[in-house]
Amino acid sequence: MSALRAIMRKEVSDHFSSNRFLILFSLIAMVSILMVYMAGLKISQDLEGEVKPTFVFLMLFTSSGIGFPLVQFVAFFGPLVGLILGFDSINREWNEGTLSKLLAQPIYRDAVVNGKFLAGVLVIAVTLVSIVLAITGLGLVTLGVVPGVEELYRIFFYLLVSLVYICFWLGVAILFSILFRSITTSALASLASWIFFSFLIPLAASAAASAAPPLAGESNTGYVMRVSELERTLSLVSPMRMYLESMAVIVDPLRRTTSALVAVGRNEDISLSRFSGPLSLNQSLLMVFPQIVFLVAILVLCFAVSYIVFQRREIRSI
Amino acid sequence: MATQPAIETRDLCKRYGAQLAVERLNLQVAEGEVFGFLGPNGAGKTTTLLMLLGLTEPSSGTARVLGLDPRRQPIRVKRQVGYLQENMGFYRDLDARQMLAFIAELNDLPAGEARERAEAALVAVGLAGEAGKKIGAYSRGMRQRLGLAEILLKQPRIAFLDEPTIGLDPDGTGRMLEVIQRLARERGMTVLLCSHLLEQVERIATRIGIMIGGRLVALGTLGELRDAKFGVAGGQYTLEEIYLKYFRESAG
C-alpha cells in the first residue's frame, strides 16, 4: 500500500509540475469560463420577463452562448486531457530504464499501473472540480441566481460521470503506453482512437443509416423515425455519444428521453413544461442508468486489459 | 540453517525462442562472499541476475535466494536484494535526496530512519555536496554513485552489482570498490559483482565464476582457476590472462 501511495504521489507531483498539463489546463479553464460567461449573458436575455423560471443555474451547462454548450465541450475535448496525462506513462519509464529499477524494489507490479492510473484520476478530478467551481462562481455573478439543492446534486452527478468518461480515455492512453514502446506511436494511437470513436463513428452512423432504403408502404414519418433510430443504434459504439446522452438528461431535468427526435427550442420547452413538471433526480438517473453502466464497463474493461498485458510483459524487454 | 547458501541455483535455464541464454546453471554463493561474475557481453549474466530477482521467469530449473524462491516470493526476495543495474535509469526531475526518499518509501522504510540512512549513503559515495542538484544534470559517474547510494540506503543482505564502476573516474572507482569491500566485510553482505574490468574483480572477489555463451565454464577462487588452466607453476598469471584462455578455448 505504501508503494502505491509513493508512486501515486510522485506521479501527481510530476503531472502538476509538467508544462504540458499547465498549458492544457489553462486552455480548458479559459475556454470553459468564457463559454459560461457568454451563456450566462444569453440566459439572462432569454429569461427576461419570465415568471419563476426553474433550474436556471443548470442552463449554464447546457445553453450555448458561442458555438456549443459546456457539456458538449467536455464531451469533445475532455478525452484529450485523459490522453495527454496517460499516453507516455509506462513507455517513458521503459525507455529511460526506470521501470526495471522500480520493479527491482519490493513492490507488486500492479502498484505501478494502479499508482499511475489513480494519479491521473486525481488530477482529472481536480481539474474538473476546479473548472466547475469557477463556473459556479461566474454563474452567481452573471445570473444572480443561487443554485438549489437539486441543482447541486445534478452538478455532482455531472462531475462524477464526466470523471468516469475522461478516465476511460486515460485508461486507453495507458493501455497504448503499455502496448507500444515508442512514445510517438502510443500518442498517435491514442489520438487516432479518440478521433475514430468520437468523430468518425457518429458520421459513419448517419451515413450508413441514411443509406437505408424506405420499405414498401412505409409512411414518410415512419421512414424518418426508422432512419434516426438506426443512426442512434449504430452510434452507440461511441463513448462520446453515451456520455452526451447521459449528460443531457442529468443536467436538464425537463428532458424525458435520451433520444430526442426533434430539437426543442427554449420557448417550446418552457411551454411544454407548463404541462409536465421537471423530472426528479432519480427519475433522470434511472433513465440514463444504461449509459452510465456502459461508461463504467468500458473503463473497467480497458483497465483490466492493460493490467493483464503489463503483468505478462517479459522484463528482459524492459 | 546457518550453512544455507545466499544464492543457489540448480540446472537453471532460460530460453528466448530458439536461443539458450542460460544453460543448466549450477551455482552456490555463500553468505558474505564477494563473487566475481565474469563473461563476455551477452553471456547471460544479466539474465541470471533477473531470474534471481524474480523479474524473469526461468524456463526450467530452480533458484533459491536466501532460501526463498524468487518465482514464488519475489517481494520477499527483492526486500533483501539490492540491484545496481547496468545503464540504470533515474528520474531526471528529482534531485538525489528526493530519489533516495522515493526508493526508501518503496521499501517501506520509516521516514526518519530513511533520512538518516540517505544522508550517510550520500556521504559514503561522495555525493553529499551535490545532493540538491537535479539528476538530469549529473554525469554518468555521479549517477553510478547515486545507484550505489540506493543500495547503501536499502541495506540489503545481497547486492547484485552489474558493471558498477563503468563511467567512474579512477578515484571514484577506488572509492566504490572500497565501499563494496567494506559492506561485505563489516556487514556480511553478499555481493555478486559483474564486471569486465578484471583487475578490479581480482582485487576484491573472493571467488570467481566465468560464464560464456550461457554456460558456466569455470568456478572457484583465483588460485583454483589459475591451477586449473596453467598447472601449479602458473603463479604469476593474472585473472585477465586466465579469463582470455577460457574465452579462447570456448570460442575455438
Q: B81 vs B49, B60, B122, CA distance in Å?
A: 11, 22, 20
Nearest-angstrom CA–CA distance, A43 and A32: 16
Cell numbers at residue A217, please? 408502404
Residue A261: what pLDDT?
47
Helix, strand, coil percentages, rounded to 5, for chain B? 45, 25, 35
Interface predicted TM-score of the whole assembly (ipTM), two decimals: 0.86
Q: CB of B162 within 8 A of CB of B47?
A: no
Domains: count for chain A: 1
Q: Taking CB atoms and an 8 Å limit, are B88 and A10 in contact across chains?
A: no
DSSP A23-87: HHHHHHHHHHHHHHHHHHHHHHHHTTT-SS-SSTTTHHHHS-SSSS-HHHHHHHHHHHHHHHHHT
More confident residue, B249 or B77: B77
Examine the pLDDT at A55 and tell me if it is beyond 90: no
What mean pLDDT value characterizes chain A? 84
B residues 83-112 closer than 8 Å to A (CB): 83, 85, 87-93, 102-103, 105-108
Nearest-angstrom CA–CA distance, A34 and A40: 10
Q: Is B88–A97 a contact, with Cβ atoms under 8 angstroms apart? A: yes
Q: What is the mean pLDDT of residues B151-156?
A: 92
SS3 B10: strand
- Which range, of A142-146, B3-7, B68-72, averages the lowest pLDDT? A142-146
**Separation of alpha carbons B2 and B230, rounded Å:** 35
Alpha carbon of B90: minimum distance to chain A alpha carbons (Å): 6
Task: Residue B78: list chain A partners with CB under 8 A.
Answer: 104-107
Residue B21 predicted with pLDDT over 70 = yes
Tell me if chain A has a CB within 8 Å of the CB of B1: no
- Please answer yes or no on whether A315 and B105 come within 8 Å at the CB atom: no
Smallest Cα distance from B242 to chain A, Å:
30
**Could you tell me if A13 and A47 are in contact, meaning their C-beta atoms sit under 8 angstroms apart?**
no
State whether A98 and B89 contact (CB < 8 Å): yes
- Report the relative pairing of strands B207-212 and B34-38 from DSSP bridges: parallel
Other beta carbons less than 10 A from residue B28's beta carbon: 15
- Confirm whether A57 is domain-assigned: yes
Q: Is the dihedral of CA B110, B112, B115, B117 positive or negative?
A: negative
Examine the pLDDT at A96 and tell me if it is beyond 90.
no
Number of domains in chain B: 1
Chain B residues with CB under 8 Å of A93 CB are 89
Q: Are B180 and B200 in contact (CB under 8 A)?
A: no
| CA separation, residue A261 to residues A225, A229, A231, B180 (Å) | 8, 9, 11, 76
Backbone angles phi, psi at A212, to 5 degrees: -70, 130
* Residue of B105, B135, B140, B154 to mutate when probing chain A, most A C-beta within 10 A: B105
Nearest to A228, CA basis, from A201, A262, A196: A262
| B166–chain A Cβ distance below 8 A for any pair | no
The whole-model pTM stands at 0.87
Q: Is residue B227 domain-resident?
A: yes
Mean pLDDT for all residues in chain B = 88
| pLDDT for A161 beyond 60 | yes
Integer-rounded Cα radius of gyration of chain B: 18
Question: Do A106 and B106 make contact, defined as CB atoms within 8 angstroms?
Answer: yes
- pLDDT tens for residues A227-263? 888 888 888 888 998 898 888 888 877 766 665 545 5
Residues from chain A that touch B56, judged by Cβ atoms under 8 A, are 314-316
**Residue A53: which of A212, A267, A305, A306 has the closest Cα?**
A267
Q: A275 pLDDT exceeds 70?
A: no
Residue A104 has its nearest CB partner, among B83, B91, B108, at B83
Pick the closest to residue B24 from B39, B45, B10 (CA basis): B10
Residue A28 and residue A134 in contact, taking contact as beta carbons nearer than 8 Å? no
Cα gap B208→A149, rounded to integer Å: 76
Burial of B34 (0-12, 13-18, 19+ CB in 10 A): buried
Whether residue A101 and residue B108 make contact (CB cut-off 8 A), yes or no, is no
Rounded Cα–Cα distance for residues A270 and A49 (Å): 13
Q: pLDDT confidence of A34, banded at 50, 70, 90? A: confident
The answer to whether the Cβ–Cβ distance between B55 and A107 falls below 8 Å is: no
Amino acid sitting at position B187: R
What is the mean pLDDT of the segment spanning B180-186? 88
Q: Which of A97-106, A275-284, B211-220 has the lowest mean pLDDT?
A: A275-284
Structural domain contains residue B191? yes
Range of B234's domain? 15-88+156-251
Per-residue model confidence (pLDDT) at position A174: 95
Q: What is the mean pLDDT of residues A50-68?
A: 72
Is residue A274 over pLDDT 60? no
CB A280 within 8 A of CB A256: no
Residue B236: pLDDT band with limits 50, 70, 90: confident
- Is the CB of A107 less than 8 angstroms away from the CB of B102? no
Is the separation of the CB atoms in B136 and B142 below 8 Å?
no
- Contact (Cβ atoms closer than 8 angstroms) between residue A173 and residue A186: yes
Q: Contact A97/B89, CB-based, under 8 Å?
A: yes
Instruction: Assess whether pLDDT exceeds 60 at residue B8.
Output: yes
Among chain A residues, CA nearest to B73 = A106
Query: Is A204 among the domain residues?
Result: no
Closest residue to B56, CB basis, from A17, A96, A314: A314
Place of cell 478530478: A125
Residues B40-67: b if buried by 16+ CB within 10 A, e if exposed: eeebbbbbbbbbbbbbbebeebebbbbe
Q: How many Å lie between the alpha carbon of B229 and the closest alpha carbon of chain A?
A: 34
Would you say residue A12 lies in a domain? yes
Give the residue from A260, A287, A250, A216 showing the smallest Cα distance to A74: A250
Per CB-CB distance under 8 Å, the chain A contacts of B103 are 105
- Rounded to the nearest angstrom, the minimum Cα separation between B27 and chain A is 21
Cβ contact B164:B144 at 8 Å: yes
Can you give the CATH number for the domain in which B175 is found?
3.40.50.300
Q: Is the pLDDT of residue A64 over 70?
A: no
Dist CA A155 CA A149 (whole Å): 10
Closest CA to A189 of A180, A198, A202, A201: A180
Q: Domain range spanning residue A163? A: 2-192+232-317
Give a yes or no: residue B107 inside a domain: no
Residue B235 covered by a domain = yes
Residues in B touching A103 (Cβ below 8 Å)? 55
Identify residues of A whose CB sits under 8 angstroms from chain B CBs.
2-3, 5-7, 10, 14, 17, 93, 96-108, 314-316
Whether pLDDT at A47 is above 60: yes
B139: in domain:
no
Residues of chain A with C-beta less than 8 angstroms from the C-beta of B107: 105-106
Rounded distance between C-alpha atoms, residue A115 and residue A8, angstroms: 4
Report pLDDT for A318. Answer: 45
**pLDDT above 70 (res B60):** yes
